[in-house]
C-alpha cells in the first residue's frame, strides 16, 4: 500500500516528494479531484512545494459525489495519506514515475458538508480551484447567462446553508468569510472553456445574486476569477491499466495516474489573496489568456472529438489508432489548416503549424492509450464549447462548411452506439435524456438537428449547414465514413 511510511524506501526509479509533507499547509481547496487535476494542477503545485517559501500551498481535495464510488475513492485517498503516483510517458514510450504529495487532505462533501464549509471559511484557504467539466457551469450558450433553474442549483438556492453544488459551497464559504471579516479567496476555473474565468465569474456571482444582492456585490468587488488555459492529455485508468502501472513502478498504488509528458498551463495573474510561485514550476503568466484558449480549444479539443466520432464509427477505440489512419489524418489536417487555423488570432510567438504537428505527435502516444469513448464523453457539452466558434465564423464568412458538417453528422451517427463493423459501444452522455436520445436514433436524419448541443448557432441561418449535415449522415449510413469523407 502506498502511504507516508513507504516514502523513505520507494522502489528504484520512483521520485518521491522533495519536501517535508508534514510542513505543507492547506492554501488551496480543489473541487473535482479527477485524473486530469491530479496530473496537472497538483503536479505543478507539487513542483512549487519543493521550492523555498512555498509550503503554504498544499491542496485539500473535495469530492462532491457520494454513493459507492465516491465513498470508495475517499477511502482510497485516506488509506494512502492522499499520496498517488503519476507516470508520465513520452510518445516513444519513455516513462518517469513520481509520487505526488501536494494533496494534503481529501474531503467527501456529502459525508460531511460542514467540514468543507469550515475549510472554505478558514483564512488559510486562499485559492479555490475547480475542474468540474465543460457542462458543469450551467451556462446557457445562447444567452450567456447562468441557469438558475438547473435542478441542483435550485435546490441549493432553497437551502443555501446545506449546499450540494460547487456554487452553493463556494458562495456559502464566501458568505462566512465576509461575515467574519476574512479576506476572500481566488476562484480558479481549470476547465476547457473559452474565457473560463469570466464564465466562472458569471456563474458564481449570479448564484450569489439570487440569494443576496449585498453578498453578490461584495464577491464582484473582491473575489478574482483568473482565466486559465489548461492542457495535458490524461486518460482514464481502468483495472488492467492500474495493474500494469503498478507492475512497472513497483508500487502498490490504488490511485495511479497516467499522462503524456506534455503539459501546459497559461494563467492570468489575477489572484486576490496570493498564489504559489507557479512561474517557477513551468506555468506561463500572460495578460490575455483568451488567445491561448482559442488555440487549445479550437485546435486540440475540437479535433479530438472530431477524430473521436469518426474513429469510433470506423471501429477504432483509441486515439492513437485514429492518427495511424492516413484518411483521418488527411481529414484532421484539412480541418486544422483550412477551418480552424485561418480563423484563430494566435498570440505572439505561437506557431500554429508547429502546434498542429505537435498535436499529431501527442495524439500518436500509444502508451497513453487514451480511449475515444473518454474523448467523446459528454460530447453534447463539448460540441457546444469546442465547435461553436468555428461554426459561427464559417456561417458568417460563407466559408466552406463541408468538413464541419461532416463532423456534426459523424457525432450524431456516433451517438447511435454501433460502429461500421457492427460492434456496439456505449457513448457516455450524462446530459442527454431519453427524448434527446430518441432524436438521435430516429430514422429521420434531420431530427437530431434539434439537440441542444447545436444551440450555439441556432440563431443563424443554417439552411445550408443543416442540408450538408443531413446529406453527410445519409452518406455515412449508405457508404460508410471512409468513402464519404469530404475530399
Ligand atoms: C479531451 C480533453 O475530453 C476531451 O474533451 O479533448 O480531455 C483533452 O484530453 C484535454 O483537454 C487535454 O488537455
304 pocket-lining for ligand 1 (C-beta < 6 Å): yes
Residue 142 has pLDDT above 80, yes or no: no
- Residue 194: what pLDDT? 85
- The pLDDT tens digits of the residues spanning 4-27 come to 999 999 999 999 999 999 999 999
Question: Does ligand 1 lie within 6 Å of residue 233's CB atom?
Answer: yes
Predicted confidence band at 190 (pLDDT cuts at 50, 70, 90)?
A: very high
pLDDT over 80 at 477, yes or no: yes
What pLDDT is stored for residue 135 in this prediction? 85
Site to substitute for ligand 1 among 35, 192, 428, most atoms within 8 A of C-beta: 192
Overall residue count recorded for the chain in this entry: 487
Do residues 111 and 63 make contact, with C-beta atoms less than 8 angstroms apart? no
Q: 261 is written with which cell numbers?
A: 509528458
The verdict on the CB of residue 178 being under 6 Å from ligand 1 is no
pTM for the full predicted model = 0.96
pLDDT of residue 318: 98
Report how far ligand 1's centroid is from the alpha carbon of 391 (Å): 20
- Cβ–ligand 1 contact at 249 (below 6 Å): no
pLDDT attached to residue 100: 98
Q: Is the per-residue pLDDT at 232 higher than 90? A: yes
Q: What is the pLDDT of residues 33-77, one digit of tens each?
A: 999 999 999 999 999 999 999 999 999 999 999 999 999 999 999
Which of 174, 262, 164 lies closest to 221 in space, CA to CA?
174
Residue 143, all three cell numbers: 444567452
Does pLDDT of 141 surpass 80? no
Question: Average model confidence (pLDDT) for the chain?
Answer: 96
- Distance between CA atoms of 451 and 443, rounded to whole angstroms? 15
Query: Ligand 1 mean position to 382 CA, how many Å?
Result: 10
Each residue of 342-374: pLDDT tens digit?
A: 999 999 999 999 999 999 999 999 999 999 999
pLDDT of residue 205: 98
Contact yes or no for 188/130 (Cβ under 8 A): yes
Amino acid at each position: 500500500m502506498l502511504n507516508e511510511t513507504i516514502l523513505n524506501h520507494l522502489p528504484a526509479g520512483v521520485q518521491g516528494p522533495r519536501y517535508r509533507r508534514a510542513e505543507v499547509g492547506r492554501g488551496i481547496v480543489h473541487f473535482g479531484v479527477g485524473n486530469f487535476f491530479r496530473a496537472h494542477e497538483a503536479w505543478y503545485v507539487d513542483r512549487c512545494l519543493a521550492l523555498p517559501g512555498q509550503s503554504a500551498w498544499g491542496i485539500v481535495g473535495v469530492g462532491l459525489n457520494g454513493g459507492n464510488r465516491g465513498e470508495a475513492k475517499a477511502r482510497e485517498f485516506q488509506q494512502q495519506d492522499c499520496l498517488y503516483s503519476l507516470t508520465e510517458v513520452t510518445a516513444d514510450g519513455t516513462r518517469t514515475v513520481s509520487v505526488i504529495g501536494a494533496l494534503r487532505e481529501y474531503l467527501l462533501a456529502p459525508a460531511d458538508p460542514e467540514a468543507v464549509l469550515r475549510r472554505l471559511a478558514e483564512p488559510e484557504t486562499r485559492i479555490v480551484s475547480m475542474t468540474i467539466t465543460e457542462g458543469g457551469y450551467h451556462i446557457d450558450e445562447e444567452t450567456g447567462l447562468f441557469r438558475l433553474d438547473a435542478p441542483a442549483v435550485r435546490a441549493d438556492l432553497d437551502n443555501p446553508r446545506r449546499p450540494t453544488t460547487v456554487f452553493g459551497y463556494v458562495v456559502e464559504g464566501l458568505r462566512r468569510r465576509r461575515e467574519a471579516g476574512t479576506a476572500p479567496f481566488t476562484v480558479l476555473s481549470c476547465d476547457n472553456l473559452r474565457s473560463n474565468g469570466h464564465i466562472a465569474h458569471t456563474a458564481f456571482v449570479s448564484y450569489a445574486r439570487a440569494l443576496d444582492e449585498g453578498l453578490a456585490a461584495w464577491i464582484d468587488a473582491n473575489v478574482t476569477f483568473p482565466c486559465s488555459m489548461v492542457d495535458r492529455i490524461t486518460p482514464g485508468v481502468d483495472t488492467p491499466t492500474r495493474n500494469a502501472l503498478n507492475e512497472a513502478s513497483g508500487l502498490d498504488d490504488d490511485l495511479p495516474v497516467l499522462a503524456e509528458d506534455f503539459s501546459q498551463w497559461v494563467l492570468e495573474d489575477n489572484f486576490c489573496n496570493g498564489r504559489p510561485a507557479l512561474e517557477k514550476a513551468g506555468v506561463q503568466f500572460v495578460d490575455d489568456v483568451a488567445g491561448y484558449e482559442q488555440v487549445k480549444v479550437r485546435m486540440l479539443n475540437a479535433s479530438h472529438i472530431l477524430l473521436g466520432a469518426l474513429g469510433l464509427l470506423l471501429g477504432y477505440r483509441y486515439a492513437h489508432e485514429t492518427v495511424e489512419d492516413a484518411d483521418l489524418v488527411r481529414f484532421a489536417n484539412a480541418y486544422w489548416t483550412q477551418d480552424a487555423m485561418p480563423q484563430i488570432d494566435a498570440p505572439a510567438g505561437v506557431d500554429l503549424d508547429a502546434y498542429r504537428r505537435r498535436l499529431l505527435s501527442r495524439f500518436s502516444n500509444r502508451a497513453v492509450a487514451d480511449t475515444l469513448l473518454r474523448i467523446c464523453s459528454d460530447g453534447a457539452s463539448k460540441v457546444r464549447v469546442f465547435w461553436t466558434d468555428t461554426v459561427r465564423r464559417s456561417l458568417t464568412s460563407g466559408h466552406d462548411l463541408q468538413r464541419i458538417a461532416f463532423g456534426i453528422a459523424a457525432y450524431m451517427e456516433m451517438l447511435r452506439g454501433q460502429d461500421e463493423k457492427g460492434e456496439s459501444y456505449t457513448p457516455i452522455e450524462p446530459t442527454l435524456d431519453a427524448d434527446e436520445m430518441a432524436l438521435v436514433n430516429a430514422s429521420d436524419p434531420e431530427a437530431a438537428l434539434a439537440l441542444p448541443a447545436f444551440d450555439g448557432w441556432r440563431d443563424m441561418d443554417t439552411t445550408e449547414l443543416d442540408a450538408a449535415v443531413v446529406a453527410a449522415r445519409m452518406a455515412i449510413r449508405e457508404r460508410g465514413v471512409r468513402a464519404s469523407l469530404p475530399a
